[in-house]
Amino acid sequence: MKYGQFCPIAKATEILGEKWTIMIVREVLMGATRFSMLQRGLGDISPALLTSRLKSLEEQGMIVRRKIAGQKGYEYYPTEACRALVPVLLAMGEWGLCWARHNVLDEDFDVDFLMLYLERSVDPSKLIGNESVIRFKFTDLVEQSDYWLLIRDDNVDLCLKDPGKDVDVYFTCTVRTMHDVWMGDRTYRDAIKSGELYVQGDTALTRNIKAWLRPSVFGASDRVPLPDNLARQ
């Protein structure tokens, strides 16, 4: 994609403007290094397209590809040019919170994507002991309504089946409610008081959830009220 302009915005868009490219950059900057990790964080992208976009980013000097020692496949790491986009992505997220929230659809509240972010948000150092289990029960789901996060030392794993261990904290709510409290659209206290969120477990953990389940990086960001014409849509 070429614009034929010397404008630096045009030149940046030539690198980052293709569909999925900025999302791949987001995932790499968040620590996804392997192809499977990138696929999980991106969701609905074909392996062929992801391969193509990674190749393009490598050619543009945005990522470096390294062979995995003793294994098949590669790992991908951000270059200095890619890391320089961190404040740009944060600014995009801030803008999206203010001016693009009206574009969020019900189907955008994907539980797999939410659980990935919750998994990434756990701070094992703030939990008790070397092993903890956090269970989420989503009351608006039928086929797969229960999810577990198993934390051992510094490792956090998502389980789709009961790991057979004592649960330290239980969350019961809808996907949307868990999204809202994690994103900072509402507080845990408000959601619990309204009866939309039930939290049970070790009081040392339930009294200060944000200490070990870090909120979204946009959790404290300002929310500008939507204009009347958009709020009515």
* Cα separation, 29 vs 89, whole angstroms: 10
Provide the token pair at 69.
Answer: 């020692």
Q: State pTM to two decimals.
A: 0.90
| Calculated CA dihedral for residues 11, 64, 93, 32, nearest 10 degrees | 160
Residue 45, number of CB atoms within 10 A of its CB: 16
* DSSP three-state, residue 217: coil
Provide the token pair at 157.
Answer: 């794993």
* Cα separation, 25 vs 29, whole angstroms: 6
Please enumerate in sequence order all residues whose Cβ is within 8 A of that of 182, keeping only pairs 6 or more positions apart, or say none: 114, 117, 118, 121, 213, 215, 216, 219
Cβ-count burial 147-178 (b if 16+ within 10 Å, e if not): bbbbbeeeebeeeeeeeeeeebbebbbbbebb
Per-residue pLDDT of the chain (233 residues; tens, 9 = 90+): 788 999 999 999 999 999 999 999 999 999 999 999 999 999 999 999 999 999 999 999 999 999 998 888 899 999 999 999 999 999 999 999 888 888 888 889 999 999 999 999 999 999 999 999 999 999 999 999 999 999 999 999 999 999 999 999 999 999 999 999 999 999 999 999 999 999 999 999 999 999 999 999 999 887 765 555 544 44
Ordered structural domains, the chain, with CATH: 8-84 (1.10.10.10), 106-212 (3.30.1050.10)
Adjacent-strand bridge partners of 198: 172
| Dihedral sign for Cα atoms in the order 45, 46, 52, 55 | positive
Provide the token pair at 89.
Answer: 């992505």
pLDDT at 72: 87
- Concatenating the DSSP letter of every residue in 7-36 gives -HHHHHHHHH-STTHHHHHHHHHTT--BHH
pLDDT at 231: 47
